[in-house]
């Protein structure tokens, strides 16, 4: 039934008491346009439901006083202090890093085993926190530059540094868990992306390609080579498979400091000229995207997401340069 013929200033036929021109006139004259706009809004709302939103954070977890703390844990703002150089580590430090690296890998394994539909990211944080303490270590993220939790949980379109909270993992999600432990004066840092329940093939392939990017980045480590070689190997493979490589976040030197030189880019950066020398320790941690590799930040100042909200995955190991290549320190 067609709408009654009304002038613009008549009362609308719907009984709202408003003038026709300010109520149903546009819809009556352009039904297709209104229907299309409504469909667009419904699609936007449907997609928005899929995206990760900030949840409620639990109170900060306590660390027993007998656990040794990194220096930044005693600073009110968690400031890390002076950045350390990329100089090779001595034998004593490397021995400690092997222990810390193995501990980090064990913690990641324990937290990953708890990933399932219905679990919250805060529950995963509680596991990581307890597992670090059980090994006599301090969860390195806690308090670092003010980070409030012991684990980073990055779900779906979150690239990195997601803060654990009341967010419930759903069937079909993917989640990156980033574990670092401070043990006997050194840090061990590792992460992996886990599938939550039944995950679509596109996301599964993303995860596998990202895992392979880490493998290829490690294989590019040779004494006498350059940091640039690592990023070139990763970018060549990822883009050849049709994926994007995040530029804004990098691997880093590690040891007695959580983050130090060198910066390890995951793309071919000509400025990454640092020579790889036996005894150097750093992380390789490529972040790979299905869509756009650019990022946006949440208001919390930590959580980075893809600009197009496409899914992203990450894998990381801490390693030391050897006389022939690289030794992975973060393995069980």
Q: What are phi and psi of 146, to 5 degrees?
A: 90, 5
What is the extent of the structural domain holding 1?
Answer: 1-50
Same domain, 123 and 257: yes
| Bridge partners (DSSP) listed for residue 190 | 179
Co-location of 170 and 309 in the same domain? yes
**pLDDT for 36:** 65
Same domain, 16 and 146: no
Cβ neighbours of residue 23 closer than 8 Å, sequence gap 6 or more: 12, 14, 16
Query: Shortest CA distance to 168 belongs to which of 114, 118, 124?
Result: 118
Q: Do 24 and 63 have their domain in common?
A: no
> Per-residue pLDDT tens for 302-313?
999 999 999 999
- Domain identity same for 14 and 84: no
What pLDDT digit, counting tens, does each position of 273-288 carry? 999 999 999 999 999 9
Verify that 187 and 250 share a domain, yes or no.
yes
Contact between residue 230 and residue 268 where contact means Cβ atoms under 8 Å apart: no
- Say yes or no: 224 and 281 in one domain: yes
Strand partners, 209: none
Q: Looking at the structure, do residues 248 and 280 belong to the same domain, yes or no?
A: yes
- pLDDT tens per residue, range 246-271: 999 999 999 999 999 999 999 999 99
Q: Report the CATH number that the domain containing residue 112 is assigned in CATH.
A: 3.90.230.10
Same domain, 46 and 78: no
Least confident of 38-52, 108-122, 157-171, 289-303: 38-52
Question: In the structure, what pLDDT confidence band is assigned to residue 83 with cuts at 50, 70 and 90?
Answer: confident
3-state secondary structure 254-322: CCCCCCEEEEECCCCCCCCCCECCCCCEEEECCEEECCCCCEEECCCCCCEEECCCCCEEECEEEEEEC
Do both 17 and 64 map to the same domain? no
What digits encode the pLDDT tens for the residues 190-243? 999 999 999 999 999 999 999 999 999 999 999 999 999 999 999 999 999 999
Q: Which residue has the higher pLDDT, 200 or 26?
A: 200
Residue 19: pLDDT over 90: no
Q: Mean pLDDT in the chain?
A: 93
Kindly state whether residues 230 and 271 are assigned to the same domain.
Answer: yes
Q: Are 39 and 142 found together in one domain?
A: no
Our count of domains for the chain comes to 2
Q: How confident is the model at residue 1 (pLDDT cuts 50, 70, 90)?
A: very low
The H-or-E segment that residue 157 falls in is: none
Question: For the whole prediction, is pTM greater than 0.85?
Answer: yes
pLDDT at 266: 98
């Amino acid at each position: 039934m067609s709408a009654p013929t009304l002038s613009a200033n008549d009362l609308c036929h719907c009984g709202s008491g408003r003038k026709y021109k300010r109520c149903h006139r546009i819809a009556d004259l352009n039904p297709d346009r209104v229907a299309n706009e409504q469909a667009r809004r419904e699609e936007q709302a449907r997609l928005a439901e899929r995206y990760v939103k900030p949840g409620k954070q639990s109170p900060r977890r306590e660390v027993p006083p007998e656990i040794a703390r990194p220096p930044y844990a005693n600073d009110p703002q968690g400031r890390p202090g002076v950045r350390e150089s990329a100089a090779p580590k001595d034998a004593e430090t490397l021995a400690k890093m092997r222990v810390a690296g193995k501990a980090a890998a064990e913690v990641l394994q324990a937290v990953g085993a708890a990933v399932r539909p219905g679990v919250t990211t805060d529950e995963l944080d509680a596991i990581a926190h307890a597992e670090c303490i059980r090994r006599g270590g301090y969860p390195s993220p806690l308090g670092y530059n003010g980070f409030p939790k012991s684990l980073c949980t990055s779900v779906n379109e979150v690239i990195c540094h997601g803060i654990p909270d009341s967010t419930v993992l759903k069937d079909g999600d993917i989640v990156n868990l980033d574990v670092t432990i401070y043990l006997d004066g050194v840090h061990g840092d590792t992460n992996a992306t886990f599938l939550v329940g039944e995950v679509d093939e596109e996301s599964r392939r993303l995860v596998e390609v990202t895992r392979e990017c880490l493998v290829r980045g490690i294989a590019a480590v040779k004494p006498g080579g350059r940091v640039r070689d690592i990023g070139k190997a990763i970018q060549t493979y990822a883009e050849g498979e049709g994926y994007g490589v995040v530029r804004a976040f990098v691997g880093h030197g590690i040891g007695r400091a959580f983050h130090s030189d060198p910066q390890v880019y995951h793309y071919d950066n000509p400025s990454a000229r640092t020579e790889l020398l036996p005894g150097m320790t750093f992380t390789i941690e490529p972040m790979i995207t299905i869509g756009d590799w650019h990022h946006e930040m949440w208001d919390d100042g930590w959580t980075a997401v893809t600009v197009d909200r496409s899914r992203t995955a990450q894998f990381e190991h801490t390693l030391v340069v050897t006389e022939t290549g690289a030794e992975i320190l973060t393995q069980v």
